[in-house]
């Protein structure tokens, strides 16, 4: 991972969850202007989404692109901060984002052979 990728990734992780849609587009254009030859892919959490999609299928849920985006942002934010809040309208999927992330992390820990003592997140 080169320095630019680390810098852009940190800026995106720290800022994107706080932006409204218009600000997100502006932020992405600024990054593109500053680093025109650099493309930071969004597949950084592909492994996480594969497991989350399997769990969602078991739970008989359909994950929309917006839900996936918010799920990844919540995961990324939870790795950066001690506390975070999920805000949104009633029935917007806040509780399921939280529960799906907990189930996904538990599944990853089980696959890695860690956390087999029955503890749950």
Cα Dmax for the chain: 49
For residue 42, the model assigns a pLDDT of 59
Cα–Cα distance for residue pair 89/92, rounded to 1 Å: 5
Q: Is the pLDDT of residue 12 over 90?
A: no
The pTM assigned to this predicted structure is 0.68
Separation CA 61–CA 80 (nearest Å): 28
Q: What is the pLDDT of residues 79-109, one digit of tens each?
A: 777 777 888 889 888 899 989 999 998 998 8
DSSP three-state, residue 114: coil
């Amino acid at each position: 991972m080169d320095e630019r990728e680390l810098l852009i990734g940190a800026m995106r992780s720290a800022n994107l969850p706080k932006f409204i849609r218009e600000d997100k587009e502006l932020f992405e254009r600024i990054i593109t202007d500053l680093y025109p030859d650099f493309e930071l892919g969004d597949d950084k959490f592909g492994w996480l989404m594969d497991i989350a999609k399997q769990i969602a299928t078991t739970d008989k849920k359909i994950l929309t692109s917006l839900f996936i985006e918010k799920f990844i942002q919540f995961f990324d934010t939870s790795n950066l901060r001690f506390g975070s809040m999920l805000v949104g309208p009633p029935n917007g999927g806040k509780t399921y984002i939280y529960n799906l992330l907990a189930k996904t992390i538990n599944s990853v820990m089980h696959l890695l052979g860690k956390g087999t003592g029955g503890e749950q997140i």
